[in-house]
């Protein structure tokens, strides 16, 4: 029995309709920007394995540091204890995050970092005697994770529908894309004057799962300033945008007015280990300090600040801050920009969006933009046939590669996007019937 068949007998995969999905591709090795399957086929990982991999697969420096840590200390509970890797990683993060960030709270993935941020904000007001301030504001098309708090501040859709009665109410405003900034500011002001708002949570500059929707720093600065004028906390979900993805180390680096809470994961360990972190200002931290133990932040995970994960985070951060990584990011950004300019205005292309190392191509289809575009499965199959891993968001295909990807490898990705354009331009009668995608939400 093959590895894929053994998998199918015992496993349940995420975002997958298990009845109709093909057998998964069994990957046995990683090398740089490549994944090597059991049958020897190689796949260029153009999406950094769900946006987590920064420096390439099986990176020898990170692997060496992790191996050493495993032989020293694999884990210790983090309530009442600490260890060097947790302290050093927190110190390193606070050195590169915006200056107003003063404390780091560890968790174990992106969704939990969001849960921590939401709970911090709500309990901050509770501890200050303002428990009535519990309304949250979020962007209408946002995605923040699949746990209940994270789902609550995410877009209502088919993916959250089974849980709708259990999600708490959130006030949604539109994304301030170019040309709509004043309208969205008015929406926010209306919410702030009619509700007891605790926090505004947002994906800064790029909404990932919404289709890599992008907006400008000035628009976000205005919204954050408006919130601060009303005493509302701002939570930046930098789970995807952090660690260089947008061109700066963090999307918040583009801003003049900084968020109060920042949520991190994905690239935090360079794609090596599961780890989340939520950082906050001194004012938020101090609201939990008291002789009254009921004002404690009662949140934690068994693997909070796992030493092995923290060590991977430290090693990844060291690589990220090296001049070679900065040069790679600038090179990828320049190649993306050149290809975007080549693609814009071509038939079959609705829009091309790019910020930093993130490139998104929206293909023009008769039914409009949708996760349920008939082309999704064809795009996915075509990319795999060409040895490239891309995971289309319906008719939107994004490229978000490891920084080590070479120019030749990028050209292979771009040529795959051009081949997708040929699919879009084929005669209408040859189009496949509309089917629900098997992976609509990532």
- Is residue 439 part of the annotated active site? The answer reads no
Q: Is 15 a catalytic residue?
A: yes
CA 118 to mean position of chain CA atoms: 17
Q: Which of 266, 328, 371, 439 is catalytic?
A: 266
For residue 442, indicate whether it is catalytic. Answer: no
Compute the distance between CA of residue 296 and CA of residue 355 in angstroms, rounded to an integer.
Answer: 40
How far is the C-alpha of 236 from the C-alpha of 278, rounded, in Å?
Answer: 10
d(CA 359, CA 353): 6
CA atoms within 13 A on the CB side of 117: 36
Residue 345 CB partners (closer than 8 Å, separation 6+): none
Active-site residue (options: 7, 15, 119, 442): 15
CA angle 393, 147, 119 (to 5 degrees): 125
139: three-class secondary structure by DSSP? strand
Query: 332 is written with which tokens?
Result: 């990828």
| Phi, psi at 30, each rounded to 5° | -125, 150
Q: Point out the catalytic residue in the list 237, 328, 398, 403.
A: 237
The catalytic position among 43, 106, 124, 143 is 143
Catalytic annotation present for 143: yes
Answer yes or no: are the C-beta atoms of 44 and 389 closer than 8 Å.
yes
Instruction: Write out the catalytic residue numbers.
Output: 15, 143, 237, 266
């Amino acid at each position: 029995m093959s590895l894929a068949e053994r998998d199918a007998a015992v496993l349940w995969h995420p975002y997958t309709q298990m009845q109709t999905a093909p057998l998964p591709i069994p990957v046995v090795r990683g090398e740089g920007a490549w994944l090597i399957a059991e049958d020897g086929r190689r796949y260029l990982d153009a999406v950094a394995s769900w946006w987590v991999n920064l420096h390439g697969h099986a990176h020898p420096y990170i692997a060496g540091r992790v191996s050493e840590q495993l032989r020293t200390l694999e884990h210790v509970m983090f309530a009442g204890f600490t260890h060097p890797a947790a302290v050093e990683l927190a110190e390193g993060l606070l050195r590169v995050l915006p200056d107003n960030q003063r404390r780091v709270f560890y968790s174990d993935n992106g969704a939990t970092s969001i849960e921590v941020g939401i709970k911090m904000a709500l309990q901050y007001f509770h501890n200050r005697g303002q428990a009535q301030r519990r309304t949250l504001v979020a962007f209408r098309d946002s995605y923040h994770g699949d746990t209940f708090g994270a789902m609550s501040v995410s877009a209502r859709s088919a993916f959250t529908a089974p849980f709708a009665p259990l999600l708490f109410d959130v006030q949604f405003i539109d994304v301030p894309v170019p040309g709509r900034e004043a309208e969205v500011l008015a929406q926010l002001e209306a919410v702030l004057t009619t509700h007891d708002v605790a926090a505004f949570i947002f994906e800064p500059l790029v909404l990932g799962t919404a289709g890599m929707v992008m907006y400008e720093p000035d628009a976000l600065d205005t919204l954050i300033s408006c919130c601060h004028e009303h005493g509302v906390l701002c939570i930046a979900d930098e789970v995807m945008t952090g660690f260089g993805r947008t061109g700066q180390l963090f999307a918040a680096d583009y801003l003049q007015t900084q968020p109060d809470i920042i949520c991190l994961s994905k690239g935090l360990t360079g794609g090596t280990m599961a780890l989340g972190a939520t950082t906050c200002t001194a004012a938020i931290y101090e609201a939990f300090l008291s002789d009254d133990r009921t004002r404690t932040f009662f949140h934690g995970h068994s693997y909070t600040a796992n030493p092995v994960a923290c060590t991977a985070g430290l090693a990844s951060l060291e690589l990220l801050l090296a001049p070679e990584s900065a040069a790679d990011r600038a090179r990828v950004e320049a190649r993306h920009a050149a290809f975007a300019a080549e693609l814009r205005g071509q038939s079959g292309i609705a829009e091309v969006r790019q910020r930093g190392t993130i490139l998104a191509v929206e293909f023009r289809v008769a039914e409009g933009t949708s996760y349920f575009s008939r082309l999704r499965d064809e795009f996915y199959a075509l990319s795999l046939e060409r040895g490239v891993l891309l995971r289309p968001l319906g008719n939107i295909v994004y490229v978000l590669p490891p920084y080590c990807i070479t120019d030749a490898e990028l050209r292979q990705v771009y040529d795959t996007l051009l081949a997708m354009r040929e699919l879009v331009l084929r005669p209408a009668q040859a189009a496949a019937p509309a089917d629900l995608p098997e992976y609509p939400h990532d």
